[in-house]
Structure 1
Amino acid sequence: MKKIALRSVAAHKIRFLLTILSVVLGTAFVAGSFMFTNSLSKTFEDLFSSVYSDVDAVVSAKPGQPAPPLELLGELEAQGGVAAVNNADEQQVVFATGQGDPLRTGGAPAVITPYYAGDDVAGPPTPIAEGREPRGADEMVLNATAAQEHGVQVGDHLIAVDPEGRREFTVTGLYSFDAEVGGYIGGAVAPEVFAEEYSGGVLPRGAWVKAAEGTDRQQLVGQLQKEYPQLEVRTGQAVADEATEAVKTGLSFLNYFLVAFGLVALLVGTFIIANTFSMIVAQRTREFALLRSLGASARQLTTSVVLEALLVGVIGSALGVVAGYGLVHAIYAAMSAFGLGLPNSGVGLTPEAVAVPLVLGLLVTVGSAWAPARRAGRVHPVEAMRSGDQSSSSSLRGRTIAGAVVAAVGAVAAGAAVFLGDATTGTRASILGVGAVLLIGGVFLISPALSRPVVPVLGRVIGAPFGAVGRLAATNSGRNPRRTATTAFALTLGLALVVSLGMLGATMKNSVKDSVESNITSDLVVTGPQDGGFFPVPAGAVNAVASVDGVADAPAIGLSPVLIDGMGSGGGAGAAYGEGNVTGALGVTVSEGEADLSTPGVLVDQPTADAKGWAVGDAVPATVMGTDTEVPLTLLGIYEPNVVLGPVLLSGASVDEFAGITGGGNSHMVDGLVMVFVNGDGSVSTQELQDRVKDATEKFIVADVLTPTEFAGQQAVMIDQMLNILYALLALAIIVAVLGIINTLALNVIERRQEVGMLRAVGTHRRQVRTMITLEAIQIALYGAVVGALLGLGLGWAFVTVLGDDGLQGVVVPWGLVGVTLLGSALVGALAAVWPAMKAAKTPPLEAIAD
């Protein structure tokens, strides 16, 4: 039976090629996801190791404690066994040319650090490659890679914008730095200049210490721990290991996210594999009957088909791993082309990256082929002497009843999630997720029965202009509802996800527009750059805005690292804080207390106050993210829910109480203003006011001056970018679905060889045969698209409704996307039919009839 299985695959290469390709696509994405995240993890591990390899000890504040004073550097230098001490701090900036053109980093860091040379270096070496080290207050050196990327030369002038304002520097030299990522821009100034301009008198990131010759690293750490018990003293390697572990934790989510799309593609592939083997088993009925008559047992026939599936799975999965390897190289090449290159530490070809896709590919292939293999084993010698596909003759009643029950349970669960108002959003979303899975499964089971009345109608409408050929295509599409439904469902699943995401995106954009229109009452909004990463509006820009002639006031909100009883403003950020009349600029209704943001304290929205049982005047607990140090704050007021502010708002006066506390998360974001609301005094038009504010903030490079409508449009563009990434990932499932249509049609043409030959014999032209096959493909694709669009609209409505408590307002149906989806599906069907239609048209009439 092994020989029979191998010969069957060898004899029907074309039959299995597209099936193997569907396995390759899914496993390649899974393998590539593991390899890419493993490679990124190794890259950052190497980077951190490179940065800290020469650091013998790192001295910093313990979590939750104030940052040590700058004077600690001198104290450490005076310690025995210490050769050098460096300030480990850095300042995030935006660099621009002397003409004010920003230097883009593609999301990589742009920082200014203190520069140490020679024996004063306690960290990674940064030797001068050209020019000299910085000395004066307006001098800076730049990493050579960034200088080459942006055409910066020694003697050029650069602008550096920080959260306080802007400073101008002359580039006196270029230095080499091994531990950098693509796009990274590292400016460095003299240590005393950094201390004066950027340190604030403290060491937020601590100090790096180099051991003197003859002093062991562990000995130095032990000595400093004993000398400074109030501080945290660790080896550089320990800090590198901790940073690497944090990166791995973050990358694990990326890996799960990417693997999920690979699994969707594999799930879609299961329908192709099941369909392919079902048709092959039906077409080989005579062969199996002959084997049974010669003594082959049912078990042997089943094993034979399983072996064929196993062979397909092994080849497809192995090629998928190879393709995943190539995919990672392609990603790195693309990132380098766009200036986002990372040091290539090699593709993460770990045992996990190879074993997981191999096992998944084999399980999916063999599992999908199991039912057809069982059918092959049930073939009886006498019964099987008839040719043709008998699979369509079995009743769909049991399957349809089961599907209706499953779909009904799923619909009830989804409905419960939608109308279960007292539960949390997370609980409702979980219930809806279970309901969605059941509903999708139920639709799959009832799809054959549903196709019986729907597909002929679609066929008659689509085939009407083509006369008899159109009617024949409509009849053919409805002959085998199981096959039609299974082929179409691969497309159904992919398009249901696309439409659901489209509805979510359209609703998000509409919610942003409504939120801006209903909550932002100011004439203008000034923000930091929105092209990736966080950067605040410089304090100097805020002051410049307030001094513009025609500006009445300019309240602002920022992000802090502070959590109020564990709550922030959403999105993983800490609590927002306000300066000036923020509540007035956002049209916030204060129901209890006052919104005096010049007084230390906090405001919360009414639902939060009710849930916590808080009243105005109560002391509420506040902590810095990543620490356990608790600071009580007075509840100043309670306001009605506001989408922009979120559940909590710190007063600007209270932020200073946390400025000295170090911790994890976004602790560097204290005093980071993200939006300034500009109210005019009515003396000039909004357009004139916008021009004046732009002129006043132009020198700060990063300040975007927008009307509320423009601000809403900017947020909508960001949502579209996010959706485009998700659509691109879902395109893999659509491609696999297209392969399924091609495969089904190709096998269908082989199965109907006699029929096509008879049509050709009675006068049907080749063009008419091609048209018939193409119309059948379009009908299958459209049926899948219609079911997918309806399913996607229903699930999308449910998810948007459940997420209503998180700021989504109303349900927006993306009719344009639905229309494009349906038209695109028809085009997909036509393209999928090209090769099978050509193959069918070339069928020799007499030879086919004689078969």
Structure 2
Amino acid sequence: MAKKSTMRRVSLRNIAAHKLRLALTVLAVVLGTAFISGAFMFTNSLKSSFDAAVNNAFTGVDAVVSKEATVEDRETVEANPDVAGTNVSTSQTIVLARDGAEPEPIQTGSGTASLGVWYEPDEQVGDTKTIVEGNAPTNAQEVIINEKAAKEKNLHPGDKLIVVDPQARHQVTLTGLFDSPIDQAGQLKVLIPEQDYLASYAKDGVVDQFIVDAAEGVAPQKVVDELKQALPERDVETGQKLADDTSKAVTSALSFINYFLVAFGLVGLLVGTFLIANTFSMIVAQRTKEFALLRALGASRGQITRSVVLESVIIGVLGSAIGVLVGMGLVAAIKAVMTSRGMALPDSGLGLSPTAVLVPILLGTAVTVVSAWAPARRAGDVEPVEAMRANESSTSQPLLGRTTAGVILLALGVLAALAGVFWDEQETKTRAIAVGVGAVLLVIGFFLAAPALSLPVVPTFGRLLGLPFGAVGRLASTNTRRNPRRTATTSFALALGVALVTVIGMLGATMKQSVADQMESNLEADFALTAPAAGGFPVPAEVPDAVRGVEGVERATTHMVAPVSLDGVFSSQLGPHGGFTDVVDGDPGNIGKLTVAEGTSDLSNGGALATRSLADAHGWRVGQQLQLAGPNPAAPTKPVELVGILDDSQMFRSIVVSHAEVTDVVPADALRIRMVGVQVAEGVNPDDVRPRLEQAVKPFLVVQVMSSEDMAGMVAGLINQILSLLYGLLALAVIIAILGIVNTLTLSVIERRQEIGMLRAVGSYRGQIRQLITLESVQIALFGGLAGVLLGLGIGYAFITSLDGQGLGDPVIPWPLVAAMLAGSVLIGLFAAIWPAQRAAKTPPLDAISD
């Protein structure tokens, strides 16, 4: 027991005595665990905010009637003596603008703008809205808006506004502002009286749902049971059950965000593992004499090993605990930024939970201990005779076994990746798994073989980089050969980060090129008139007629979607019984490039089209009569002739129905315009027509005039936003890799104190010492950067090729990114060397020699 207590005190005192060389190791643990802890906390915050919003939305709601509820259903509900009141719960996505000579759209950023129903306080069910300024609306030309959004957008009672909906635009007056428990600044809620809303947006009598208030003393479940009997074709549930179901759905959706963020935290910990292992290896090598003296004084091998493991446990717990605190700070900072941009998370807190605290601490500690285990075993193997040696620096270890294993794994990795590339007859999932296995084998194989690979490569870099520096350059090149394990381990952390960035960059470049090629090859129209993608807002119904009269326009063809099916088949299936089908008011070949296999593609006179694969699957033939049905199963269907069969295409992938046929099954306001394809007259320059089109659609506020190049650029911009997010997350791995180089160089300076002192004593200037350490750092970083680029390009090529069945084109190498990675590696080397080089330059010559 006394020996254990003594070794424990030795470990604790060693940590206290060497704060500098362990601080960077603790920082690596902090960065990895902070990201994981922050991911859990941020997800918890989002969930808390959504749960609060959902609960508030259903507070006071005893029952909900949904699934194509009608006005007649409402009459049945209100006739029940156990029902105290009902409200229509529905909304319509809109765009709101300030009225004037030049209407100005009110930007909602990442938020939404919707039009809903206003009820007087004594008629409200559930969400209680209170007028805080102005008056309630009394007709369709008056609206009331939620206070928080109105204040943020600088809107006041009396303002003249324009409401743009899918069918038309309306001039309205803002009469008042209201407040409610679920009011948020990012959600612009515009409300009008019920009768006016139903007259404009529920002409067929169908609404999203009714919310029901039970009579006093009546249990919600009793009302639900009674309404289920009265309305067997509708879905009827209690408000609490819907709130619980919605919360579960939100939790499920947020789990992906959590997994996504935790994955990047694990990448950071993985990179940090090599930093931690490298640090402990160097510390053990430097403390050889210390361990030998302890062995000579009677300490056993196990005690030495356990003392080093104890140090790693303390460092792991300390770093992980600090990481949790830093994670809290990250969440607070993210929420502050979101609040400043109008995306506040009310009722969310910091998201603290046992999982957010315990998982990062346990994981960070485990990673630290595992990383330190091999160095701890080597510490226990130190013999007492080592105490008589004058040199504490690490001795070289044979590389044959490690290199052989690495080469074998590299070969297996290449074979697995090639299988994923050339195994054409296998499905995409199998090929992708093969590439994934190959990528893991390549990474592990490179880690094992890297020391041997660095021996011919790194000194070569050193000689080339050191040419302008004479003897200092040659000495730096020689130094990197002295411990290839350390050089390779230090550079591997950077190589892994660069490889991940390269793979993602290659995927992004390929996706952008594929989108550009598809837009160019699939869009037949000269211009596509579209609405903003956010919120699924369609093109206003008046746009096609407005552009047909523009000078230089030969034709305008409208692509719509409608909730209709053809023999039970939808273009896009949504759930087991619903969906949407493509509708065109002319020839869809005027919008996208099509190949007609049989019949015709012109739907001007009615009919429907189907792709070859779909027609063969259902046994359809040209001239066959198919049944067109709307969303109401009780309504009659209409026979429609199949007038053409198309080869499979990117734009129309299943069925297309004529607009003339669809309007006999569903009302006109049930159709949503996705795009209007405009073709200019022959001999007319499209660039001359574009400004006229833009002027024609300007009053609609939401319509964009886009060419195929514009559409490809818009998608490329979205891809760039996603890539920027991924690069930002991967920056964590690169930061840890930089710390690894700083750590290695710092410990190397401590280890080589006598050597550096001797160089100073024989006449080396401080600037030359700084050059020496900096050149060594750049060599290590450049080797890691080059290895990472090569690994990333190889894995990226194999991965993208295996996904060729998903619509990706040939792999595109992002040469600017590759050049940036290599140049960035040099800069990383220069940056990482600043502090270690400065420390080395300040080494007192005589003191170092005397040590």
* 1:772 to 2:779 alignment: no
Change in Cα spacing, 1:252 to 1:614, as seen in structure 2 (3 Å) is: farther
- Contact 1:131–1:174 (8 Å) recurs in 2: yes
Distance in structure 2 (CA, Å) of the matches to 1:401 and 1:597: 68
* Secondary structure class of the residue paired with 1:478: coil
How far apart are 1:79 and its partner, in Å? 2.1
Counterpart selection for 1:251 from 254, 266, 272: 254
Counterpart selection for 2:429 from 426, 431, 437: 426
Query: Which position in structure 2 is the counterpart of 1:734?
Result: 734
Distance in structure 1 (CA, Å) of the matches to 2:104 and 2:397: 71
| 246-255 or 563-572, which deviates more | 563-572
Query: Which position in structure 1 is the counterpart of 2:78?
Result: 77
Amino acid at match of 2:649: N
Amino acid at match of 2:437: V
Change in Cα spacing, 1:621 to 1:13, as seen in structure 2 (3 Å) is: farther
Alignment of 1:473-484 (within 5 A): 473-484=476-487
Amino acid at match of 2:34: A
Counterpart selection for 2:188 from 185, 188, 205: 185
* Secondary structure class of the residue paired with 2:310: helix
| 354-363 or 189-198, which deviates more | 354-363
Counterpart selection for 2:106 from 97, 103, 113: 103
- Contact 1:575–1:648 (8 Å) recurs in 2: no
How far apart are 1:846 and its partner, in Å? 1.1
How far apart are 1:513 and its partner, in Å? 1.6
Counterpart selection for 2:269 from 258, 266, 269: 266
Alignment of 1:283-298 (within 5 A): 283-298=286-301
* Secondary structure class of the residue paired with 2:803: helix
* 1:464 to 2:467 alignment: yes
Counterpart selection for 2:51 from 40, 45, 48: 45
How far apart are 1:622 and its partner, in Å? 11
| 296-305 or 676-685, which deviates more | 676-685
Query: Which position in structure 2 is the counterpart of 1:665?
Result: none
Counterpart selection for 2:42 from 16, 19, 36: 36
- Contact 2:530–2:676 (8 Å) recurs in 1: yes
Alignment of 1:725-804 (within 5 A): 725-804=725-804
Change in Cα spacing, 1:806 to 1:568, as seen in structure 2 (3 Å) is: farther
How far apart are 1:75 and its partner, in Å? 3.1
* Deviation readout 1:320-345 (Å, 9 max, x if unpaired): 11111111111110011112222142
Amino acid at match of 2:582: Y
- Contact 2:612–2:645 (8 Å) recurs in 1: yes
- Contact 1:425–1:802 (8 Å) recurs in 2: yes
Query: Which position in structure 1 is the counterpart of 2:548?
Result: 546
Amino acid at match of 1:796: G
* Secondary structure class of the residue paired with 2:488: helix
* Secondary structure class of the residue paired with 1:539: coil
* Deviation readout 1:61-91 (Å, 9 max, x if unpaired): 2xxxxx1322333332232122221101111
Amino acid at match of 1:53: T
Query: Which position in structure 1 is the counterpart of 2:646?
Result: 639
* 1:57 to 2:63 alignment: yes
Count of residues in Structure 1 that have an aligned counterpart in Structure 2: 832
Amino acid at match of 1:379: V
Query: Which position in structure 2 is the counterpart of 1:557?
Result: 559
* 1:93 to 2:99 alignment: no
| 782-791 or 613-622, which deviates more | 613-622
How far apart are 1:595 and its partner, in Å? 3.1
Q: CA RMSD in A?
A: 2.9
Query: Which position in structure 2 is the counterpart of 1:113?
Result: 116
Query: Which position in structure 2 is the counterpart of 1:526?
Result: 529
Alignment of 1:412-423 (within 5 A): 412-423=415-426
Alignment of 1:808-819 (within 5 A): 808-819=808-819
Alignment of 1:195-274 (within 5 A): 195-274=198-277
* Secondary structure class of the residue paired with 2:109: coil
* 1:342 to 2:345 alignment: yes
Change in Cα spacing, 1:765 to 1:656, as seen in structure 2 (3 Å) is: farther
Distance in structure 1 (CA, Å) of the matches to 2:312 and 2:564: 56
Amino acid at match of 2:163: A
Change in Cα spacing, 1:561 to 1:39, as seen in structure 2 (3 Å) is: farther
- Contact 1:760–1:766 (8 Å) recurs in 2: yes
Change in Cα spacing, 1:60 to 1:394, as seen in structure 2 (3 Å) is: same
Query: Which position in structure 1 is the counterpart of 2:3?
Result: none
Change in Cα spacing, 1:287 to 1:755, as seen in structure 2 (3 Å) is: same
How far apart are 1:634 and its partner, in Å? 8.5
* 1:498 to 2:501 alignment: yes
How far apart are 1:403 and its partner, in Å? 1.0
* 1:155 to 2:162 alignment: no
How far apart are 1:463 and its partner, in Å? 1.3
* Secondary structure class of the residue paired with 1:687: helix
* Deviation readout 1:185-238 (Å, 9 max, x if unpaired): 000000011001112333432101112223332322222223222222111111
* Deviation readout 1:219-259 (Å, 9 max, x if unpaired): 22222223222222111111111111111111111111111
* Secondary structure class of the residue paired with 2:508: helix
How far apart are 1:507 and its partner, in Å? 1.4
How far apart are 1:383 and its partner, in Å? 3.8
Distance in structure 2 (CA, Å) of the matches to 1:747 and 1:447: 21
Structure 1: 5+ residue runs without aligned partners? 62-66, 661-668
* Deviation readout 1:720-760 (Å, 9 max, x if unpaired): 11111111111111111111111111111101111100000
Query: Which position in structure 2 is the counterpart of 1:537?
Result: 539
Change in Cα spacing, 1:180 to 1:396, as seen in structure 2 (3 Å) is: farther
Query: Which position in structure 2 is the counterpart of 1:581?
Result: 587
Change in Cα spacing, 1:524 to 1:272, as seen in structure 2 (3 Å) is: same
Amino acid at match of 1:534: G
Amino acid at match of 1:493: L
| 278-287 or 824-833, which deviates more | 824-833
* Deviation readout 1:520-543 (Å, 9 max, x if unpaired): 12111112125x443222222233
Query: Which position in structure 2 is the counterpart of 1:694?
Result: 694
- Contact 1:107–1:533 (8 Å) recurs in 2: no
Amino acid at match of 2:541: A
* 1:302 to 2:309 alignment: no
TM-score by length of 2: 0.92
| 548-557 or 244-253, which deviates more | 548-557
Distance in structure 2 (CA, Å) of the matches to 1:602 and 1:293: 90
Alignment of 1:697-712 (within 5 A): 697-712=697-712
Distance in structure 2 (CA, Å) of the matches to 1:175 and 1:151: 15
Change in Cα spacing, 1:623 to 1:745, as seen in structure 2 (3 Å) is: farther
Change in Cα spacing, 1:560 to 1:22, as seen in structure 2 (3 Å) is: farther
Alignment of 1:601-620 (within 5 A): 601=608, 603-604=610-611, 606=613, 612=617, 616=621
Query: Which position in structure 1 is the counterpart of 2:4?
Result: none
Amino acid at match of 2:69: P
Distance in structure 1 (CA, Å) of the matches to 2:540 and 2:43: 35
How far apart are 1:555 and its partner, in Å? 2.4
Change in Cα spacing, 1:558 to 1:436, as seen in structure 2 (3 Å) is: farther
Amino acid at match of 1:341: A
Query: Which position in structure 2 is the counterpart of 1:275?
Result: 278
Distance in structure 2 (CA, Å) of the matches to 1:194 and 1:86: 12
Q: Name segments (4+ residues, structure 1) moved above 6 Å.
A: 560-576, 618-625, 631-636, 654-660
Change in Cα spacing, 1:401 to 1:575, as seen in structure 2 (3 Å) is: farther
Change in Cα spacing, 1:593 to 1:615, as seen in structure 2 (3 Å) is: farther
Amino acid at match of 1:449: A
Distance in structure 1 (CA, Å) of the matches to 2:805 and 2:485: 41
Distance in structure 1 (CA, Å) of the matches to 2:626 and 2:735: 54
Distance in structure 2 (CA, Å) of the matches to 1:51 and 1:180: 10
| 99-108 or 33-42, which deviates more | 99-108
- Contact 2:530–2:674 (8 Å) recurs in 1: yes
What fraction of aligned residue pairs are identical, expressed as a percent? 48
Change in Cα spacing, 1:387 to 1:269, as seen in structure 2 (3 Å) is: farther
- Contact 1:108–1:181 (8 Å) recurs in 2: no
Change in Cα spacing, 1:258 to 1:597, as seen in structure 2 (3 Å) is: farther
* 1:489 to 2:495 alignment: no
Query: Which position in structure 2 is the counterpart of 1:673?
Result: 673
* Secondary structure class of the residue paired with 1:68: strand
